[in-house]
Structure formats: C-alpha cells, structure tokens
Amino acid sequence: MGVRLARAAVVAIALAGVLGGSIAHATTAEDRFRAANALARHADYPKAIAAYDELARSGFESAALYWNWAQAAAARGATGEALWALLRARELDPGDRAVRRDIERLREGANLDRAEIAPEPLAALARWTRRFRLDLVAVVLMAASLAAHAWLRWRRWAPRLANLTWATLVLGLLAAVVPAVGSLARPTGAVVRRGAALLDAASPTAEALGTLREGEVVPILETSGTYVRVEDSSGARGWALTDDVRSLTAAPGRRERAGY
C-alpha cells in the first residue's frame, strides 16, 4: 500500500512538472512575441524579425506571428520577405481576410501577376480544405455513414436510415476528395531576396543561370542541403539557396518534404 502511494505521488509530481513546464513555455512564447512586437514598434525591424523567426523555429507558428513579421519586413523595405510571411500566414489561416488583402496589396506593389504567386492550383484546394475543415467534415460524415450502416445491419429495417447511410457516405467521399487532391500539390517557396541567383548546381562554386524575381512563388522540385531546386515562371529550372527561397509549406528551420 505504501509503495503504491509513493508511486502515485511520483507520477503526480511528474505530471505537474510537465504541465507546469508547458504552461510556462507557452507564457514565455507569448512574452517573446510581445517583446518582438515592441521591437517592431520601436522600428528595430531586424531584431524584431529575428525574434519572430526564433519563435517560428520553436514551433510557435501562427497567422498573427507571420502577420507581424510581414509588417516589420515591409517597413524594412523587404517586399519579398513580407510577401512570403503573409503567404505563410495564409497557409496557416486561409480564412484571414486581412492577410488576403495585404497579399494583394504587396503583389500589386511588386508588379507581380496573380499567377506568379500561385503557381500550384492544387495548393488552393489544400487551403480550401483548411479553411472549411473539409478533412474533419469528411471524417465525420464517413463515420456517420458507417454507424448508420451498422445500425441498419444489426438492428431492424428502417428505410430512412438506409437513405441516411447513402447520403452521408456520398457526402463524406465528396468532402474527402478535396483534401486528397490538394495533398498532391507540389511544395512551394517564395523568393525573399532581390536578385536571388538561380544556380546551375547545388554548390558554392555553381554558376548563376539568371536571377529570380523577388516575391515570386516557385515550386520546389528538390532539396539538397541548403539548396532547393526550383522552377520559375518562365520555366527555367535551377538551384537556389534556402535563404533566398523560403518554403511556404514547411515551417522555418524544417526540411521541405521530398520533391517530385
């Protein structure tokens, strides 16, 4: 009995430590976010951006974080970086109207065509999925159809239940098609530096084939170390530094998923 009590006490203390640490960590993230905002308000944009970057790399990503990052980058004159931050915010919260509005404003300011910031049409389906939670809708509908079908089989005959089964199944499958197709979109990245070089190889000694347009969104075909292989809107393919082309589909500091 005494041993059991001691074990329970140890488990309770450990749980309390973990929960307390998480809460403290979250509090620290909020504090760091506010500190970064203060830096931005005092026009210390490089430090503010560095603080936002650190937060994102720590896993505390949110549309608000990238929104503020974009404001600081825009004030600093880094159009490409601001556009990237807003596009990343849109990835996290596709329903944010302010983000969409600022993306349009920056796009026009950078003389970019709509197609130049949306090279992957399937990516829009993925955003629709996230915006309208079509993934959860599909799962709920399919689960309901299964439950109705099971009820129908093992209980009594009910014509209305059969219709419900069919309807939920069809709707669930339709809802599941959108995220499934959206997941086929290639990963993309935004050019954040003016005059970013398009290289002929993923090597420090590579020669420049040309330059990428600041703010342009390009599909990421392959990754190799600190280089990504991209294709610009003119169809030219080459390698670029990950510092010049930042991923829109992966958080900062995380490796892009394998290319196609």
Partner 1 sequence: MSAHRPSSTRRLPRLALAAGVAVTLVCAVACPRAEAAIRSEVDATRIGLEDQLQLTITVDGASAPNQVPPPPLGNLRVVGGPSVSTQVSLVNGSLSQSRSWTYWLQPAAAGQAEVGAVRVRVGSNEETAPAIAIEVVAGSVKPRRPARRAMDPFAQDPLDELFGRPRGRVAEPRVFVEARPSRTSLYVGEPLLLTYSIYTQASVSGLEFGNAPQFGGFWVEDLTPPPNGSGEPATVEGIGYRRFTVMLKLLFPTKAGRLTIPPISVRLAMSRQSLFDAGFVAERSTKPITVEVKPIPDTPGFSGAVGRFKTSSAVDRPNLALGEAATLRFKVEGSGNLKWIDRAPDVSVTGAKVYPPQTKSDLKTQPTGIVGSRTWEFVVVPQTAGMLEIPALRFSYFDPAAGRILESETAPLPLRVEGGTPGAMIPAPPAGTGLARPTGGPLALRADLEARSPGALSLPGGMVGLLAGACLLLHAGLWGAGPLARRFAGARSPAGRAGPRRDVRGVLRDLERVGRDGMSKEKAAGLIERTIHGVFGSLDDAEDERGRAVRQLLEDVQLVRYAPQLGEYSERLRELAARAGEVVRKWA
Site for partner 1, rule CB under 8 A: 26, 29-30, 33-34, 37, 40-41, 55, 60-65, 67-68, 71-72, 74-75, 77, 79, 82, 91-95, 105-106, 109-111, 126, 129-131, 133, 135-136, 138-139, 142-143, 145-146, 149-150, 153, 156-157, 169, 172-173, 176-177, 179-184, 194, 214
Which of 7, 133 has the CB closer to partner 1? 133
Number of C-beta neighbours around residue 187 at 10 A: 20
Minimum distance between the CB of residue 152 and partner 1, rounded to whole angstroms? Answer: 8
Type of residue found at 162: A
Minimum distance between the CB of residue 240 and partner 1, rounded to whole angstroms? Answer: 20
d(CA 148, CA 107): 49
Minimum distance between the CB of residue 249 and partner 1, rounded to whole angstroms? Answer: 12
d(CA 137, CA 178): 11
Minimum distance between the CB of residue 248 and partner 1, rounded to whole angstroms? Answer: 13
d(CA 40, CA 48): 5
